[in-house]
Structure 1
């Protein structure tokens, strides 16, 4: 919907990239270790260099292939695919699977789903949320629902059913603010939420009953000096238009410039901030927040983020050179795909199929740069991803 304007000149050389191996490895056990001197290993990533762009305009390593599964304004599985596809996730469904995708347009945004058969063919597509506005990112839950987040002033989180059987439900207890992404932490029975404001916060929602997001406590991350942090309750999670907004209600709240993607794995909540140009890591055991990527390498315009059990993180670019980069546990940052000829777009909604062999994502505006029209393209990449 918007064009990012935060991008500045990228610091030269790999020496500008900083990692914290201590949070990357064995976070739950609080083991102290660091990466080898220099932090980032130069050279190709785990899949090798990118080749020339294929017929779909996607540059991939050897052994990978792409296909287009949907285009905005065209029929996909019997559904007119929505404009401005954004955040997404995959869900197992019998011998097939489902990919859900938000629509980041005003008033009619909502979310749609594509159901794939076991052989990867499309069975059908359908709407799972209507009548909402600027649905940006979100997150899947352990009980197989999709949290669709409105990136608008006093926006809401909507809990939706990717299988299309139950009506979507607003979850105001999770806060009314400019939502971006959500990541569930089943270990601590909490949901982390990012906020796309220049002084946005990281929130933690703890439901009264795990699996029921209708009631609970909303906390905001606060600094305690250095990397140390703590959580404090937000006094009024649903402020009125002229009341103090959530990010300004607690004086000690820690602020991040443009919160974006969010992903939880092995005791760590990873989240990105486009203005900071960093990938951050909240270590739940140490109660610290540190930067695991400080820019300056091949990854720029940090945005949506996902991961696999291998420990690899996949970060999509908004701007930059339209890549998805992998960040490996041993300190490699490298592109795994690039979209050529789409400089006015952004990559959104990266999500892996349940078996980890297929990566879905969208180009929100495509080569045309159109937001509300027919520019959006949703892709599938198949290959030997490290699972």
Structure 2
């Protein structure tokens, strides 16, 4: 029996009655939320709705000048991570998912640019001990469609290109794209702009590094069949520190025997043994990886594999949605899986949906991170209102933030997705991006 968003949120103490907005503002007689931090309160400035006792600060907004003078803050703020800085400060590395049509490119800076014809990359914000922004500059440029990524145990950021465009193609790039790039937040020039080609060329979404074994897990965001794969990269120099991933390694893809498509699993708690199959051609020189021949038994696909994060001794990864009409084995509105490398298993932890609940919040989970209470924070990337949700270790879902910045037109409101949720090293501040119009928030309050 599948668990729906309605039942998950009802378990979190939300009563489903009255208008949708009332469920998360505590108005119109809606019962108070008993899990999480309480109902969301409308923001008088119409930017970010939060529970009582929480507040936010806008750190950066697309189009404003970068403090470095290198140009404007780029558009399409996406994946992000927070790192310790001297004097109890924080460094934030932030992706910009810019395609060739992006209105605000990541400025091309000498020594940090891979392909001058590509408009994506990363910017770096430095905050002092009070949370005030003291610097903002380019950390990586000339990459394309930098979606999410992941941090390493040696405190660098792995930025992922969600594209497979080749040099000389329709996009007009001078270099091949579809790679992972390492960014050193302490000194971006030290890492430069070097593609980690051994980690594969495909539409990367996110990565997570096993801090004990050094294995790097990667998600592939493909929404057209054949769908994406879940990968692991076995570095030649595991846990070797900055630059060690350039030494190469072996790329493998996940096979769940008897399960060619993860969408058909509909019961949270269902667990399966896994196999890892070598990728025939990680460079995808002639054939995209997901089309390649993995031999008898095939390989396991999933539509829209997105967020990926290490925690609880394993790697959590997200399938944002699946649609039978687009070729998936079944419909769902979001899955969160856990791979346990010690036991060699994958387990479906959370299922959002089904289609009967499409008017309720909680569809299309995307970026994820570990929450202060040991659960997860999940960014929503679906239709209608956009939320950051918490998920308890028991699989219960509760609202944390709602985007109140209406970027629609009169009569047709719209809100940008959330992305890049991450916490400060002391776990006292949550940082998160509103993808459009491109805003980075710092949220403080009584985190558990």
TM range (shorter): 0.7 to 0.9
Q: Check 1:131–1:250 CA distance in 2 against 1; reply closer, same or farther (3 A cut).
A: same
Question: Residues 325-359 of structure 1: CA distance to partner in whole angstroms, max 9, x if unpaired?
Answer: 00011332001010123524211111111111111
Superposed, 1:292-311 pairs within 5 Å as: 292-296=349-353, 298-308=361-371, 310-311=373-374
Unaligned runs of 5+ in 2: 12-31, 100-117, 165-176, 260-271, 323-333, 354-359, 408-413
Q: Check 1:16–1:50 CA distance in 2 against 1; reply closer, same or farther (3 A cut).
A: closer
| 2:357 aligned partner | none
Distance across 2 between alignment mates of 1:187 and 1:327: 25
If the length of structure 2 is used for normalisation, what is the TM-score?
Answer: 0.73
Question: Residues 47-102 of structure 1: CA distance to partner in whole angstroms, max 9, x if unpaired?
Answer: 11111224252111111101211111112434521111111000101121111111
Maintained 8 Å contact 2:280/2:292: no
| 1:90 aligned partner | 82
Find out whether 1:49 has 2:42 as its counterpart: no
Distance across 1 between alignment mates of 2:54 and 2:5: 30
Deviation larger for 176-185 or 344-353? 344-353
| 1:150 aligned partner | 161
Distance across 1 between alignment mates of 2:288 and 2:364: 30
Q: 1:173 Cα deviation (Å)? A: 0.5
Distance across 2 between alignment mates of 1:323 and 1:44: 18
- Point out the structure with max Rg over C-alpha: 2
Paired residue for 1:220, among 253, 267, 285? 253
RMSD: 2.2
Distance across 2 between alignment mates of 1:148 and 1:243: 23
| 2:382 aligned partner | 319
**Helix, strand or coil at the partner of 1:239:** coil
Distance across 2 between alignment mates of 1:16 and 1:51: 18
Total equivalences in the alignment:
344
Maintained 8 Å contact 1:56/1:67: no
The structure where strand makes up a greater share of residues is 1
Q: 1:229 Cα deviation (Å)? A: 0.9
| 1:359 aligned partner | 430
Superposed, 1:239-318 pairs within 5 Å as: 239-240=284-285, 242-246=286-290, 248-251=292-295, 252-276=298-322, 277-296=334-353, 298-308=361-371, 310-318=373-381
Question: Residues 281-320 of structure 1: CA distance to partner in whole angstroms, max 9, x if unpaired?
Answer: 1122222222211113742121000013531200000124
Q: Check 1:121–1:76 CA distance in 2 against 1; reply closer, same or farther (3 A cut).
A: farther
Question: Residues 152-174 of structure 1: CA distance to partner in whole angstroms, max 9, x if unpaired?
Answer: 01500011111234123210000
**Helix, strand or coil at the partner of 2:309:** strand
| 2:133 aligned partner | 122
Paired residue for 1:237, among 282, 293, 297? 282
| 2:441 aligned partner | 379
Q: Check 1:57–1:250 CA distance in 2 against 1; reply closer, same or farther (3 A cut).
A: same
Q: 1:46 Cα deviation (Å)? A: 2.1
Paired residue for 1:338, among 384, 402, 406? 402
Distance across 2 between alignment mates of 1:122 and 1:56: 22
| 1:5 aligned partner | none
Distance across 2 between alignment mates of 1:234 and 1:137: 22
Maintained 8 Å contact 1:189/1:206: yes
Q: Check 1:262–1:247 CA distance in 2 against 1; reply closer, same or farther (3 A cut).
A: farther
Q: Check 1:298–1:316 CA distance in 2 against 1; reply closer, same or farther (3 A cut).
A: same
Question: Residues 195-220 of structure 1: CA distance to partner in whole angstroms, max 9, x if unpaired?
Answer: 00131010001101123112111110
Find out whether 1:104 has 2:115 as its counterpart: no
Deviation larger for 99-108 or 176-185? 99-108
Distance across 2 between alignment mates of 1:17 and 1:196: 30
Unaligned runs of 5+ in 1: 1-9, 19-41, 366-374
| 1:14 aligned partner | 7
Question: Residues 224-260 of structure 1: CA distance to partner in whole angstroms, max 9, x if unpaired?
Answer: 24722111111211021x3252453325221111111
Distance across 2 between alignment mates of 1:15 and 1:309: 20
Distance across 1 between alignment mates of 2:320 and 2:97: 17
Q: Check 1:126–1:285 CA distance in 2 against 1; reply closer, same or farther (3 A cut).
A: same
Q: Check 1:136–1:53 CA distance in 2 against 1; reply closer, same or farther (3 A cut).
A: same
Distance across 2 between alignment mates of 1:87 and 1:121: 21
**Helix, strand or coil at the partner of 1:44:** coil
If asked which structure has higher relative contact order (CA below 8 Å, sep 6+), I would say: 1
The structure where helix makes up a greater share of residues is 2
Distance across 2 between alignment mates of 1:179 and 1:203: 10
